[in-house]
Structure 1
Amino acid sequence: MPGFSPAASPGIRTYLICGCGSVGYLILEELKKEGGRLLCMDSNPERVQELREQKIEAFLRDLTDPDMLQGIDPFDIAFVVSDNHEANITGLKTVRRLYPRVHIVARAQDPINEKLLMKEGADLVLYPQHVVARAAIEHLHQLEKHNVSRDLYALLASWSGVFGIVTHTNPDPDAIASAMALSAIAKRANPNLETRIIYDGIIGHQENRTLVNLLDIRMEKLKPETLNECTHIALVDSKGPGANNGLIHSMPVDIIIDHHQEDISDLDRAHFIDIRQNV
């Protein structure tokens, strides 16, 4: 019985991929980027030969064989990812019995299989359908963020004059950093656009004053004459005009960037609104 022993090369992770079909091969391709040692086993002789031709240490083994690990060097992480659920369960049991301390990632065919694999000792269970769904939603969110950023950049690039960025009253690091970031984006999009950061109240806490001083952020007190000089106005970390920011409720603003607002029906006069309650 092999028991637990460290990988053959200290400091270098060794991965064992059990079942090198479609999912296993994709994992193999990703692990190549990690720089560790790769060991693969599969019950298909042709697949094993293909892997060997790619200079991969591949073994012809059956996951249902209790001796499937015989002759294979110790490993740190095992991926039990064949397309056969029963074979994965059996292979998982074998790996866990012989190497109780290695990390095991197993592939499930459905939610019921997922629970069984966890019960048998898998540290992580991959349910490909869920992975694909999550990836699709994540890519969709990234696309949405890209489009929103592109629209903001184009809007700023089209302006001229003075761009005033108003924070909430008594700005904290959230508001200060948001204003600073929007100012940097505006300067990159439109070097000819004068950008000014404006606040009402005081910068009260010592850490907030330190943030402004260390980063040399120029911030101006909110005054009627200052707002009159602004051709365009943005609100950051603030729900809307008159909501804890020193502006009157009827004050027109061009941009609102926040993470608190729930009802934006009364903000339709703004040219750009980016409100993310999950941030």
Structure 2
Amino acid sequence: MSHSMPRLVRRGAAASTPSEMSRDEWQARVDLAACYRLIAHFGLNELTYNHISLRIPGDREEILINSFGLMFEEVCASNLVKIDLYGRILNDPVGNGINEAGYVIHGAIHEARPDIACVIHNHTPAGMAVSAQRHGLLPLSQTAMLFHGQIGYHDYEGIAISMDERARLVENLGNGVAMILRNHGLLSTGRSVAEAFNAMVYLERACEAQVKALAAGWDNLCFPATEAIEMTAQVYRENSYAAAERDWPTLRRMVDRLDESYKN
């Protein structure tokens, strides 16, 4: 995927923690805003219609999500919207509200999986292509093998605006870390913003590799041994959080070089 278009670099001091907000919530806002900028930088969003949500530390009933109508590169710590698990707005600094489909999907997972802090959902060309393939994600690359036994599939039910769909989303995700929404897109989760972001990058790369490999025809595909697939997935399960936390400071520094306004 090409990213040759130049980006405007803006510098500025990060805003301090607002007096009415806990330090933990402000740090969560800054990390989430950084994730929005990273998703935009790597071209993993679809205009304003995808979402990343984050549970506010210490409170299982409140999450942060983007203000509807803002591009991901416009998201910053102070304009994130605070909602409860059913989409009721608790704080909306911009006044744009939120995309209904966003909280239906994200709220369902946050409510059912208290172990999950962050949820990323997007519609990338490669992700949508694999979501339309009957066989789903194939173990054609080491990156794809990371999700062996940890990815669910959810059949398309139309635009996700029905609260009834929440139960099926949760059931299809199960105890996994990612999900392919058929004819729709990708979803990743994590115990931190860092882990969810890394999972999405790996899932997207696995889908890109699969689309390219399938272009050569099914008869030309090479599948690894089951034992190798399972070993690779096990190593990933044991190390994903530590690896993501190790990568995150590097990614934050990259966002700082591009545009520090996400901290405001």
Pick the TM interval, shorter chain.
Answer: under 0.3
Q: Which of the pair is proportionally richer in helix?
A: 2
The TM-score normalised by the length of structure 2 is 0.23
The TM-score normalised by the length of structure 1 is 0.22
Higher RCO (CA < 8 A, seq sep 6+):
2
Q: Which of the pair is proportionally richer in strand?
A: 1
Pair member with larger Rg? 1
